[in-house]
Structure 1
Amino acid sequence: MIGYVLVGTADLNRSGEFYDALLGTIGVTRFMEEADYFIAWAKSPGECSFGVTLPFDKKPASVGNGTMVAIALETPEQVNAFYNKALELGGTCEGKPGFRPENATSGFYAGYFRDLDGNKLNAFCMVEA
C-alpha cells in the first residue's frame, strides 16, 4: 500500500550519513538519489522506500506535529539495536524500547526516536504471546 515515505532535512549530506549508518544495520541501502535534492533507501528498488529531501519549495524543513515514520523489524532485539544505533548517531530519545502498553508481555514492542532534523521515527515489531 505505501510506496515510500520522505522526511525533510536541512542538511542532505548529514542526513545521508545518518541514515546510511542506521539503515545499513538492517540491510537497507541507497537506491536512488538526486544531488542537492533527495536520497532514498530500500531493501530493493521495488519495495517500500524511505527518503530524506530538501523541501521542493526551498523553505526551511520542519517536522509535522503528529507525523511519525515506523520501521518494521522482526524481533525486540533488532528494535533495541536499531534504536540504540539511532541514539549513537546523534538521534534523541522519544520513548525507550519496550511493550506498549508498558505492562504488556506480548504484542506491540517499539522504541521511539528523533533524527538529526527532529523527524520522529520508531522501530517496532509484533511479539506473539
Structure 2
Amino acid sequence: MIGYTTLGTNDLPRAAAFYDELFAVLGIKRMMDFGRGYAWGTGMDKPGFAVMKPYDEQPATAGNGTMVALALDSEEKVQALHAKALALGAQDEGAPGPRGGGFYAAYFRDLDGNKLNAFCVKAA
C-alpha cells in the first residue's frame, strides 16, 4: 500500500550523507535527486524513502507520533541498521529485541529528530 515516505530535514547535505551510509548497510542506494531532496529505494516500482526540505520553506519538524517503519528480513539486519544509525549520530529510542508475537524491532531518531523503526517478523 505504501508507495514512498518522506521526512523533512533542515540540513539536506547532512541528512543525505546519513541516509546514504545507513541504507548502504542494506545495499540500498540513492535513486533520485529532485533538487530539494533525495530518495532511496530498490526500484521505481517498489516502496521508497525520501528526505527533503519542506515545500513551504518553513523549518522541518519531527512529527509527534509520526514514525517510519522499515521492513527487513532478519534480526541481524535490524541489529546492523540500528547500530549503524547510532554510529552515525542517531538517538536510540529502543534497542533491538523481541516485542511479542514474532515482532522483532529497534527504534531510533535520525539527525533531524524523525523517528524510525527497523523490524522483522518471524514466522510462528
Give the structure-1-normalised TM-score.
0.93
CA distance in 1, matches of 2:117, 2:66: 11
CA distance in 2, matches of 1:71, 1:28: 12
- Flag structure 1 segments of 5+ consecutive residues without an equivalent: none
1:61 matches 2:60: yes
The equivalent of 1:15 in structure 2 is: 15
Equivalent residue runs for 1:101-116 within 5 Å: 101=100, 107-116=102-111
The equivalent of 1:85 in structure 2 is: 84
- Flag structure 2 segments of 5+ consecutive residues without an equivalent: none
Which amino acid in structure 2 is aligned with residue 2 of structure 1?
Answer: I
Query: What is the total number of aligned residue pairs between the two structures?
Result: 124
CA distance in 2, matches of 1:59, 1:2: 26
CA distance in 2, matches of 1:100, 1:88: 23
1:24 matches 2:33: no
After the TM superposition, list the runs of 4 or more consecutive aligned residues in structure 1 that deviate by more than 2 angstroms.
Answer: none
CA distance in 1, matches of 2:46, 2:21: 20
